[in-house]
Amino acid sequence: MTAQDWISTGHLPSPEVVQELVAEAHRRFQPVTEGRVADYIPALAAAPPERFGLCVAGCGGPLFEAGESRVPFSIQSLSKPFMFALICQAIGEEEARDKLGVNSTGLPFNSVLAVERSGEGLSNPMVNAGAIAATSLAPGASLARKWAFIQDGFSRFAGRPLEIDRPVYDSEAATNRRNVGIATLLSDHQRLWWDPEEATDLYTRQCALSVTAADLAVMAATLANGGRQPVTGEQVIDPSHCQHVLAVMVTAGLYETSGDWLYATGLPGKSGVSGGLITVAPGKGGLATYSPPLDEAGNSVRGQLTARFLSARLGLNLFASTPDAVR
């Protein structure tokens, strides 16, 4: 018996069914008006609230799209699982866990309390503190080499070169003093492995990378597909790292509402303040949505509704089962 015998498997329904359900989700949730566009980063405040795009990418490569799935926006906190994946690949998942922590904080994404409360400066890679610490671990002896590692890694996940959205970067760099404070606190706890100001700048650049819902769907599908990019066929990370990234997404991907999310979808997910949201169905594929209006916890309203709908209708929930036949 090999490790491969214990891997979760399965397939999406037929392409016709998937496309029909993706289109239905777009029709169903486009009229939703709840939520507010993030305004604490000035460059994000101008996003039209009516924008809504979604894409499902199967592990075998097909894309199923509806709405504004090719509209670019900044990746923001959706970068966190992919950065953690790259660091697991670079230094190993056990060292990554020891240095970053993996337990849910139950607190907002930008809280400093989690760092202070742990006593060791640990949080997890899905919140700002752990994500900044993860970014500081990027290989390279200079800021330029570290950034090249990050940008190249994200581009391999997406299957195309990704570039910084310069207005978003400039806007965030001018208002990210809280993240600098978090980085300084991490350094005081000896949980940062680069200069605090430069580590924060790297993290800010990372969050400003421009993506689309279609990009994010194939990035999520790469995590669902044992680290192999379903469109290019490149093995971006080793299969063993995917399960650890997804485990942290399950417990902390939607911050203090991660329990509600898991209860509703049964899947690993991650949200971003620009309105993006990804959902990963191991062995099946990835779902990504873009809709700027957010709930009070900073998660896309339409994105959550879409994920709940498609998780049920596509049969993705990891915890769903039917009774075995009577023997």
Residue-wise pLDDT tens digits, 212-265:
999 999 999 999 999 999 999 999 999 999 999 999 999 999 988 999 999 999
Question: Residue 272: which of 317, 202, 212 has the closest Cα?
Answer: 212
- Predicted local confidence at residue 143, as pLDDT: 96
C-alpha–C-alpha distance, residues 17 and 13, integer Å: 6
Torsion, CA 215, CA 162, CA 133, CA 102, rounded to 10: 10
At 62, which amino acid appears?
A: P
Give the span between the Cα atoms of 294 and 304, in whole angstroms: 10
Task: Identify the weakest region by mean pLDDT among 96-110, 153-167, 179-193, 245-259.
Answer: 96-110
Query: How many whole angstroms separate alpha carbon 56 and alpha carbon 107?
Result: 30
Domains present along the chain, CATH in parentheses: 10-76+210-313 (3.40.710.10), 79-108+119-207 (3.40.710.10)
Is the pLDDT at 2 greater than 60? The verdict is no
pLDDT band, residue 3 (cuts 50/70/90): very low
Contacts of 112 (CB under 8 A, 6+ apart): 129, 181, 182, 185
Residue 61 binned pLDDT confidence (cut-offs 50, 70, 90): confident
Short-list 197, 241, 226, CA closest to 87: 241
Q: Please choose, from the candidates 185, 186, 179, 182, the residue with its C-alpha nearest in 3D space to the C-alpha of residue 205.
A: 179
Q: Report pTM.
A: 0.93
